[in-house]
Amino acid sequence: MRARFALTVCACTLLAACNLHPIQGLDEAIEAVRIERVAGGGSNKVDILFVIDDSRSMAQEQAFLTGNFQDFLQGIVDANADFHIAVITTDARDPNDAGAFRSGPGPSEAADDFCVGPPPSLEDCNVGDSVLRFDDYVGDDGLLDITGLARDFECVATVGNCGHFIEAGLDTLKRSLSPDRAQTSDFIRDDASLAVIIVSDEDDCSVGEGRALQSDRDCFITQRDQLEEVEAYRDFLVDEVKNGDGSAVLVAGIIAPTPPNYTWQPGVFSCTAPGVTGAAGQRYQEFIRLFGARGVQANICAGDFAPVLRQISSTIGRNIDVNCLTENIPTCDPEADDCLGDATCEPVFRTEEVPETGVAEKHVCSDFELSIEVRNPGEEEFTVWEGVGPAGDTPPDFVTPDSAQYEVVYYADSTGSCPNTGVGFRFLQRPANTAEIRALYPVSFDDD
């Protein structure tokens, strides 16, 4: 499903109230126009954490990941993102080392000495820093050294295949971003989005803080009730890492899918491909789904990781720079037909990312108006920018016009971006950092 909005300038006087519906009692919705200053056009910063399974079966998958990393980078470059990249493993045996950012390759069965060193091709590899930063790979010409960055990522992301066979990626994720660790402040930026990318061919067996790691694969069946609830890890990322801003977190997983009626059994895989097998990542899948439209799941048995990585990076690109509106917009009741004129009451979905069977919590009239205005230094007047945005169903071949300078983004439920209002906008053409930007839109005040 692809959706759009008609976007026009509000004809009302900017600083006066503007009734968009017939006069109602004071116990009903009162609507006015909001003028909202936008600070700097949003942030293009994103902190990207890879959680990579380092168990015995993961050598081929790591090669797929590092070999196609440039495909991932292309989407990041297209989004003009200022990134931090770090890598951890799923091995939680050592509480002091679990979740530590990698600065070089891990031990491998391919090493000359079994599980002592990295593969021979990477034995001299060490990037010297556990965080790969955008600024370190941009030359004087402003161009990103993609080749050098891909080489250094191969160094840190080849985490080896000598890690523990009980994967606990959610536990190591939480430990890696603990506020008590120095690496956290070196990686997490307050004004950046956070993207977590999990790569694993088995399920998660995280037990939570202060509890002993599971010792066998019973955690997949009889001991699942002893594992930490996946919601706890979502709450940690949103509430503790990003200070309650769910719009700042995106989670992706390259994991094994869960077929219908699947039950884990030793040696029974949920997907296979040349050189790759996978057991359903059910807990990872549950974790990803908690993020709604900001969750992306891909099949680890796809073989070629290039399309998967392009999908993930393009999703990151679409989800950074979202400027959330701060006031509630007017909504409508699809059963009451309470929109004016020819306007219709439409569900607001985040385009094709919401399944057709999804049920919208929010509906708006199709003539909803949002105007973005920009004034550069030295200019006396604001210029009205051209934008597009989703509302309801439109033909699947709809293409965003090249002239569009921003797009409106809607989220039908509270799991998506902009949890307070469910609506924001993203610049498709970035204004100057010194530009003055304002958003004009109708707001609704509930006087209950």
Q: What is the pLDDT of residues 160-216, one digit of tens each?
A: 999 988 899 999 999 999 999 999 999 999 888 899 999 999 999 998 886 777 666
Alpha-helix residue ranges (DSSP H) falling in 207-333: 230-235, 282-289, 306-319
Residue 8 domain-assigned (yes or no): no
Tell me whether residue 15 is in a domain: no
**Could you tell me if 163 and 106 are in contact, meaning their C-beta atoms sit under 8 angstroms apart?**
yes
Going by C-alpha positions, the residue among 177, 248, 175 that lies closest to residue 211 is 175
68 within domain boundaries? yes
Instruction: Report the alpha-carbon distance of residue 334 to residue 412 in Å, rounded.
Output: 14
Tell me, yes or no, whether 305 and 371 share the same domain.
no
For residue 3, being part of any structural domain is answered with no
Contact call for residues 105 and 155 (beta carbons, < 8 A): yes
35: left (phi over 0), alpha (psi -120 to 50) or beta: beta
Last residue of a domain, one of 293, 320, 347: 320
**9 located within any domain:** no
Total count of domains within the chain = 2
For residue 150, the cross-strand partners are: none
Give the orientation angle of helix 59-67 with respect to helix 69-78, to 10 degrees.
Answer: 40
364, 332 contact by CB (below 8 A): yes
User: Quick check: is 16 in a domain?
Assistant: no
Residue 146, Cβ density class (10 Å: 0-12 exposed, 13-18 middle, ≥19 buried): middle
405 and 288 inside one domain: no
pTM over cut 0.85: no
The percentage of residues in the chain with a pLDDT greater than 90, rounded to a whole number, is 33
Taking alpha carbons only, the member of 21, 36, 33 closest to residue 332 is 21
Q: Which two three-digit tokens encode residue 57?
A: 């079966």
Are residue 276 and residue 359 in the same domain, yes or no?
no
Asked whether residue 63 is assigned to any structural domain, the reply reads: yes
| Of the residues 286, 320, 354, the one at which a domain ends | 320
Q: Cα–Cα distance between 206 and 94 in angstroms, integer? A: 14
299, 320, 341 — which closes off a domain? 320
Residue 14 lies in a domain: no
- Tokens 């080896």 sit on residue: 160
Residues of the domain holding 398: 29-41+323-446
- Residue 117 sits in a domain whose CATH number is 3.40.50.410
Q: Which of 68, 44, 51 is nearest to 252 (CA)?
A: 51
Do 285 and 158 share a domain, yes or no?
yes
* pLDDT tens-place string over residues 63-119: 999 999 999 998 888 777 889 999 999 999 888 889 999 999 999 887 777 888 888
